[in-house]
Amino acid sequence: MSIFKSDILQGKVAIITGGGSGINLGIAKALVDHGASVALISRTQSKLDAAAEQLSPDGSQAKGFAADVRDVDALKGAIEKSVEAFGGLDILVNGAAGNFLAPAAALSPNGFKSVMDIDTLGTFNASRLCFEHLQKRGGGVILNVSATQAFMPTPMQVHPGAAKAAVDKITEDLALEWGPFNIRVVGIAPGGVEGTEGMKRLMPPGMDEKMRAALPLGRFTTTEEIGQVALFLVSPAAGYITGTTLVVDGASAMPLSGVFWTAMRQWGG
């Protein structure tokens, strides 16, 4: 289901880091379905090839270029190849992220650093490397994938929480500095997304149904829903939105919403 014309992004080229799976693949699909060509960048070429094949069986609208966003030279190389393959760049989606549950007291310095390197430095470095390419087209859009951990204190999530809070700040500051180049910088902060690596890693075993029941809408979101919101944010319909991170979490991160809902439902039968 889409409220947009299927050619709204015709002729546009997007780079999507972390685009081989999950939320970012959902965003890639929404963009391809509306006319864009997408270059997917993440660590494993075989995973990227499978994702590109799924998005665009003839290869005309999707290609994968392997690079770890922590390796700036490799990232630069993959960005250059993407721009060459599709003839320019209009949209960058910074989706590459790392995460695992770990209590702060047991988290090693390198564990914290690894997530900061992927999420925060990866976002800045990809944005910085894409800036001149976006500028060449007279402007464009950068979409940073954040998370509710950025503003909601979350147990065992100090590393991604800090990393995504920094990503949100990058969204604000780049919007300010790059607005004059007609580059919008926006963010999306999803809550839990069904069927993703993040959900697998972050859901305490056996808690799925209890967690769903505690959510205001009684369910997590989907990659399709996040894809549609991302499509809106990168489309001309959102032309005056910049420096903002849109929370798409079904009100799950409202303070104590889960606790209140559980109590009210028990009280109301």
CB 24 within 8 A of CB 47: no
Q: Is 151 in the site for ligand HXC (CB under 6 A)?
A: no
Would you give the distance in Å from CA 123 to the centre of its chain? 10
Rounded to 5 degrees, what are φ and ψ at 193? -120, 120
Q: Is 201 in the site for ligand HXC (CB under 6 A)?
A: yes
Structural tokens at position 3: 């409220």
For the bound state, the minimum distance from the C-beta of residue 147 to ligand HXC, rounded and expressed in Å, comes to 3
Of 45 and 60, which CB lies nearer to ligand HXC in the complex structure? 45
Site for ligand HXC in 153-182 (CB under 6 A): 160, 164
Q: Where are the beta strands (DSSP E) in the chain?
A: 13-17, 37-41, 62-64, 91-94, 140-145, 183-190, 245-248
Between the CA of residue 95 and those of 53, 115, 204, what are the distances in Å?
Answer: 20, 13, 23
Q: Which of 38, 115, 116, 130 binds ligand HXC (CB under 6 A)?
A: 115
Of 172 and 197, which CB lies nearer to ligand HXC in the complex structure? 197
Among 262, 121, 91, 253, which residue's Cα sits nearest to residue 186?
91
Q: How far apart are CA 215 and CA 220, in angstroms?
A: 8
Of 69 and 134, which CB lies nearer to ligand HXC in the complex structure? 69
Closest-CB residue for ligand HXC?
98
- Contacting range for ligand HXC; rule: CB under 6 A; set: 55-63, 97-105, 123-131, 209-217: 97-105
- Contacting range for ligand HXC; rule: CB under 6 A; set: 46-54, 108-116, 120-128, 221-229: 108-116
Could you list the residues that contact ligand HXC (CB under 6 A)? Answer: 97-100, 102, 108, 110-111, 114-115, 118, 147, 149, 160, 164, 197-198, 201
